[in-house]
Structure 1
Amino acid sequence: MYYIVATDKSFDQASVDLESAVKKHGYGVLHVHDLGGTLRSKGLAFDNECKIFEVCNPSQAAKVLSIDMRLNMALPCRISVFTEQGTVKIGLIKPAQMLSALSQDMALVEVAKEVEEKTMQMVDEAK
């Protein structure tokens, strides 16, 4: 269900490279959540870094929503850059598996597979 790769890049470089890969594949970055920074700003001890990139391809999102409007709650796609035990990782929850748990519509499965292929390529290129 998860696709996670480790990288030798720094956390900051992996984040920059992910954003570049997202744009290269015709997706946009809607928002970046700095989860690590947010937790630390609230006074919590959190040693890891974690940025969550909300990414979207408008035409793919429109296809999903035209099939099942309830799936707006599963959008946009999220790709994370994070540290775990000193290693920088980039990962996502595979869209095809996630959306297949929410709908059995074959048209949706095809869209989800296309999105999954692209988002995994983004992760690999940022690695």
Structure 2
Amino acid sequence: MFINLETTKSVQEVRQAVEDKAKAKGFGVMSVHEVSNILKNKGVPIDYECVIVEVCSPRHASQVLSKNPLISTAMPCRIAIFQRDGKTVISTIAPTAMLEMYNEPELRPIAEEVEKLMKEIMEESI
């Protein structure tokens, strides 16, 4: 269900690499959430660095949204980058796992392609 990788790079190094690799693979970077900073500024800090990068492939998004607008509830794809046990973890929910919620089996090839690209982005970022 999850795609998880670890690295010794910093959260910010991985964040920048994810943004660069996503763009190189035709994804747009929709937003970056500095979660740990946001929580700290709200007075409820966490004790590790956490960033979420939201990415989206316009071509794939158009294909799935043309079939079922409810899939927009799972978009854009989110890649979490956080510290855990002295390592930096990069993690996302597998698009094929998310697709199961929508009962659209004919969209599986698209989800598989997005998942392959997401894995490549993540692997190339560590």
Using the size of structure 2 for normalisation, the TM-score is: 0.95
Q: CA deviation at 1:59?
A: 1.0
The 10-residue stretch of structure 1 (96-105 or 72-81) with the greater mean CA deviation from structure 2: 96-105
Match of residue 105 from structure 1 = 105
1:17 is aligned to 2:17: yes
Match of residue 6 from structure 2 = 6
Unaligned runs of 5+ in 1: none
Q: Give the paired residue count.
A: 126
> Which runs of at least 4 in structure 1 moved beyond 6 Å after TM superposition?
none
Alignment-mate amino acid for residue 6 of structure 2? A
Match of residue 34 from structure 2 = 34
Alignment partner of 1:101: what SS?
Answer: helix
Q: Distance in 1 between matches of 2:42 and 2:86?
A: 23
Q: Distance in 1 between matches of 2:26 and 2:38?
A: 29
Cα RMSD between the aligned structures?
1.0
Q: Do the aligned partners of 2:4 and 2:92 also contact (CA within 8 Å) in 1? A: yes
Match of residue 118 from structure 1 = 117
Alignment partner of 1:54: what SS?
Answer: strand
Unaligned runs of 5+ in 2: none
Alignment-mate amino acid for residue 88 of structure 2? V
Alignment-mate amino acid for residue 113 of structure 1? E
Alignment partner of 1:44: what SS?
Answer: coil
Q: Distance in 1 between matches of 2:122 and 2:104?
A: 27
Q: Distance in 2 between matches of 1:14 and 1:91?
A: 11
Using the size of structure 1 for normalisation, the TM-score is: 0.94
Q: Distance in 1 between matches of 2:118 and 2:54?
A: 11
Q: Percent identity?
A: 35
Alignment-mate amino acid for residue 64 of structure 1? V
Match of residue 69 from structure 2 = 69
Deviations 1:62-119 (A, max 9, x none): 001011111111111111111112211111000011112222331x111111100000
